[in-house]
Amino acid sequence: MDASQEVLELGPRRGSYVAVAGPIGVGKTTMGELVARRMGALLVREVFAENPYLDDFYAGRSVRLQTELSFMMARYNQAREIDKLLALGNNVVTDWTFPQVLVYSRVTLQDDPRDWLLYKELYDRLLVQVPAPDRLVCLDAELPVLMDRIRGRGRGYESAISPDYLLSLREGYTAWRQEPPYPLVWLDTTDLPIPSSEVAQEAALNALWDSLGRCPLRLPEPKLDL
Closest CA to 32 of 94, 85, 86: 94
Confidence of residue 219 (pLDDT cuts 50, 70, 90): very low
- pLDDT value at position 141? 94
Q: Is 46 helix (H, G, I), strand (E, B) or coil?
A: coil
Confidence of residue 215 (pLDDT cuts 50, 70, 90): low
The CA distances from residue 132 to 82, 178, 182, in Å, are 10, 18, 7
Give dist(CA 202, CA 143) in Å, integer. Answer: 24
% of the chain with per-residue pLDDT over 90: 57
pLDDT at 8 over 60: no
Kindly report the pTM of this predicted structure: 0.84
List pLDDT tens digits, range 69-79. 999 999 999 99
Closest CA to 68 of 116, 112, 30: 116
- pLDDT value at position 218? 45
pLDDT at 131 over 90: yes
Q: What is the CA radius of gyration of the chain?
A: 19
- pLDDT value at position 18? 96
Give dist(CA 183, CA 180) in Å, integer. Answer: 7
Kindly report which listed range (53-57, 206-210, 217-221) carries the lowest average pLDDT score. Answer: 217-221
Confidence of residue 6 (pLDDT cuts 50, 70, 90): very low
List pLDDT tens digits, range 81-103. 999 999 999 999 999 999 999 99
Give dist(CA 106, CA 24) in Å, integer. Answer: 16
- Kindly list the structural domains of the chain, giving each domain's residue range(s) and its CATH number in brackets, ordered by start: 16-212 (3.40.50.300)
